[in-house]
Chains A and B, each alone.
Chain A
Amino acid sequence: MSEPKLQLSGVKKAFGSKEVLSGVDLDVPKGKSMVVIGGSGTGKSVMLKCVLGLLHPDEGSIKVDGEEVTNLDARDRDKLMQKFGMLFQGGALFDSMKVWENVAFGLIQGRGMDRKEARDIAIEKIRAVGLKTETAELYPAELSGGMQKRVGLARAVATSPEIIFFDEPTTGLDPIMADVINRLIVEQVKELGATALSITHDMASVRTIADYVAMIHEGKIIWTGPVGDLDRSGSSYVEQFIHGRADGPITRRVV
């Protein structure tokens, strides 16, 4: 692996007595796409929120470009966020704003760019994700789920971030639309030369967008390797997960 852009070491996070992350160690190489797989409730989203600073880890270290970022003050955190882009699972589009205003939001409010210039960039990004220019004037509520994901992707890449996070990018989409979104993710990440960290349990998504895969189970990374090694991981947990078998070392309590 090349030099890590993002490095997590011994990251722990508990909510009350429930420990969700029990010491996550993960290196994401610069310019590569790392996908973290794992079942629901294994700590994927919590890990992502710790990296983004939306949650504060109880223990451990998170480094971006070799710099510790766990205890940044608000001003430095805002500055760090300029390196990040994020596609949320539900889109998280601002429903009071038009599509182009959503895409241009980070440019106008986060970077202080002129509205006209930001609008031009937003339209360009909207077209780059396969939407028509007219879509720019619509509100998020007027869009289908797939279109909202595309707008979310356009917003995530509009500020040309160095690191892009994808939270369950294909959840709730039909297989064809899921593949379209996966291909757009690959295209946009490659075009920007960005580092990507995704979390998903959609194996088709993993095989399309990942350079490296890591599996999280019970709050720990239990396997990591190139996507090509996924089918010969030698881990019974990974085997069970990628083949979607009910029988195996991963047991689910039915509540």
Chain B
Amino acid sequence: MSAQSEEIIGNSPPGGKSLLDVPLDVCAAIGGTILTFFAVVGRLAMFVGRAIAHCFLPPYFPNQLLRQLIDIGYYSIPVVGMTALFTGMVLALQSYTGFSRFNAEGAVAGVVILSVTRELAPVLAGLMVAGRVGASIAAEIGTMRVTEQIDALSTLSVNPFKYLIAPRVIAGTLMLPLLVFVGDIIGVFGGYIVAIYNLDFSSGSYLTQTWDTLETMDVVSGLVKAGVFGFIVAMMGCYHGFNSQRGAQGVGAATTNAVVSASILILIFNYILTQVFFS
């Protein structure tokens, strides 16, 4: 066999690469990435499955749950409230600017209430809570991981999934809908303030239009979305914190990954749920 034919079938000469090696390397890189992706998805799915199972199986830690309900719910009210207030105000201003070009200023109240309840309150509250709570959960659990506190829990006969993960996941899933409900009210109030005091709307007609436009499904869909987003935020924080690598850098990376992955998943699931509710 000649040297040329050896090269074509892949028998590379010493120190060099044959022509076949290049596409094989590309395929190996793509294959490796796909395998890594499925491995991560598999690990995450197993983690989520274990976490959900431990939410229902005894023993329960009510004190931990109460602490998380307060941490995730009560202490997030200012952040969510401020976000909703200014979102409602900006929405009223912007929709008025747009609709006035078509003499449709009367639609401002309807646009504000629908946008806030269906989309803006759940999504923005989800993203704000991902930043505040998701980061905090990942950093706390990550630090516990690298300082062996999670191992210490196991040696003290306490399952870390029941003690650390389950209360946070339950609290996230329950509290975000409540936060969004509060955000709905504050957001609509923000729009009302701007409409009445800045855009000279009549208070009575603005409220009537708001009430007439609103349907139960608008609020319910937002609250269901909020529950899903709360679950995602808590789960991403717990997953990345629990699997944090050694050292300060590992905890930092876990925190970043928790916020980024939760934010992206919130946007993806927002589309899916919108499609389910309103298509």
The chain A residues found within 8 Å of chain B, CB to CB, are 49, 52-54, 74, 78-79, 81-82, 84-86, 88-90, 92-95, 105-106, 109-112, 155, 159, 165
Contacts and interface: CB of A to CB of B under 8 A. Distances in A.
Contacts of A90: 147-148
6 contacts: A52-B151, A78-B158, A82-B157, A86-B155, A109-B163, A111-B157
Contacts of B151: 49, 52, 54, 86, 88, 92
B157 A81 contact: yes
Nearest to B143: A95
Interface of B: 59, 61, 144, 147-149, 151-152, 154-159, 163
Contact of A78 (B144, B148, B149, B159): B159
Contact of A110 (B147, B148, B156): B156
A53 B154 contact: yes
The residue among B61, B154, B155 with the most chain A CB atoms within 10 A of its own CB is B155
Contact of B157 (A54, A78, A88, A155): A78
B158 A110 contact: yes
A54 B156 CA distance: 12
Given A49-B151, A53-B154, A110-B157, 18 more contacts: A52-B155, A54-B154, A78-B157, A78-B158, A78-B159, A81-B157, A86-B151, A86-B155, A90-B148, A105-B158, A106-B158, A109-B61, A109-B163, A110-B158, A111-B157, A112-B59, A155-B156, A165-B155
A94 B152 contact: yes
Contacts of A95: 147, 149
* Nearest 10 CB-CB pairings of A with B: A110-B157, A106-B156, A92-B148, A92-B152, A86-B155, A81-B157, A109-B158, A82-B157, A88-B148, A110-B156
Given A90-B148, A92-B148, A74 B159 contact: yes
A86 B157 contact: no
Contacts of A52: 151, 154-155
Nearest to A152: B152
Contacts of B149: 92-95
Contacts of A155: 156
Contacts of B147: 90, 92, 95
B156 A88 contact: no
Contacts of A112: 59
B163 A81 contact: no
Given A90-B147, A92-B147, A109 B156 contact: yes
Contacts of B148: 88-90, 92
Contacts of B156: 81, 105-106, 109-110, 155, 159
Contacts of A109: 61, 156-158, 163
A168 B4 CA distance: 62
Nearest to A89: B148
Nearest to A165: B155
B55 to A, nearest CB: 14
A79 B152 CA distance: 15
A85 B149 CA distance: 14
B143 to A, nearest CB: 8
B134 to A, nearest CB: 19
Nearest to B53: A74
A93 B163 CA distance: 16
A99 B180 CA distance: 38
A78 B158 CA distance: 7
Contacts of A93: 149, 152
Nearest to A94: B149
